[in-house]
A and B are shown apart, each in its own frame.
Chain A
Amino acid sequence: EAGVAQSPRYKIIEKRQSVAFWCNPISGHATLYWYQQILGQGPKLLIQFQNNGVVDDSQLPKDRFSAERLKGVDSTLKIQPAKLEDSAVYLCASSLGALVDLGEQYFGPGTRLTVT
């Protein structure tokens, strides 16, 4: 079974530039998550999708971050414009979506973003 795919693996941009990350979840997984992991911290949820609908985006900085999952499969996360403090690893995860196993999330390898 193929895991969660993410691209690119690394990205370096200057502040005020834009960047986009892509994620393809495990086939059949209804729920998709984007997390931000700052160095030395645990992952922090940014947004959660159930199929193509947003379930929770309460921690997404909506003035600069946006995400979509138009067809209920793959997803993109965009930052526009980037700030220095956005330097982090952006992790995508997916789960089957059943309430009982929402914690059983499968993570991709992440995209390491450096903002200079």
Chain B
Amino acid sequence: GQQLNQSPQSMFIQEGEDVSMNCTSSSIFNTWLWYKQEPGEGPVLLIALYKAGELTSNGRLTAQFGITRKDSFLNISASIPSDVGIYFCAGLAPGAGSYQLTFGKGTKLSVIP
């Protein structure tokens, strides 16, 4: 099946620093999405990207849909303690019966106050 390679696996940063994480695949995706998951909760959608080359911001978060449609990155500027969590990239592509969302393994972000 389709696989997403997400890196880094984990990050420890100081409060106020910028963060960058990315996701690559050997397959093409129609849509790239970034989710955040906190302990004991389900993933929450942060940003959705629908066109190759698209650059979208949501507050301090910025994400881009790669031109090749096989990669995406997420940047967080001026990190704060509440940014702590696991960030997942996800790609939407045709599946067995409909469009299917495939998730990466996540980037665990820790912010040191």
What is A's interface to B at a CB cutoff of 8 Å?
4, 33, 40-45, 48, 50, 54-59, 91, 93, 99-110
Contacts and interface: CB of A to CB of B under 8 A. Distances in A.
Contact of A93 (B4, B42, B48): B42
Q: Indicate the member of B42, B43, B100, B105 with the most A CB atoms within 10 Å.
A: B42
B55 interface: no
Nearest to A40: B105
B106 A108 contact: no
Nearest to B86: A42
A104 B33 contact: yes
Contacts of B45: 104-106
25 contacts: A33-B101, A40-B105, A41-B103, A42-B88, A42-B104, A42-B106, A43-B43, A48-B98, A54-B97, A56-B95, A57-B97, A58-B96, A58-B97, A101-B48, A102-B92, A102-B98, A103-B33, A103-B92, A104-B33, A104-B45, A104-B48, A105-B101, A107-B41, A108-B42, A110-B42
A41 B105 contact: yes
Nearest to A99: B99
Contacts of A91: 42-43
Given A42-B88, A45-B100, A109 B95 contact: no
Interface of B: 1, 4, 31, 33, 40-45, 48, 50, 88, 90, 92, 95-106
A72 to B, nearest CB: 16
Nearest to B92: A103
Contacts of B98: 48, 50, 55-56, 102
B100 A48 contact: yes
B105 A102 contact: no
Given A56-B95, A56-B96, A103-B92, A4 B101 contact: no
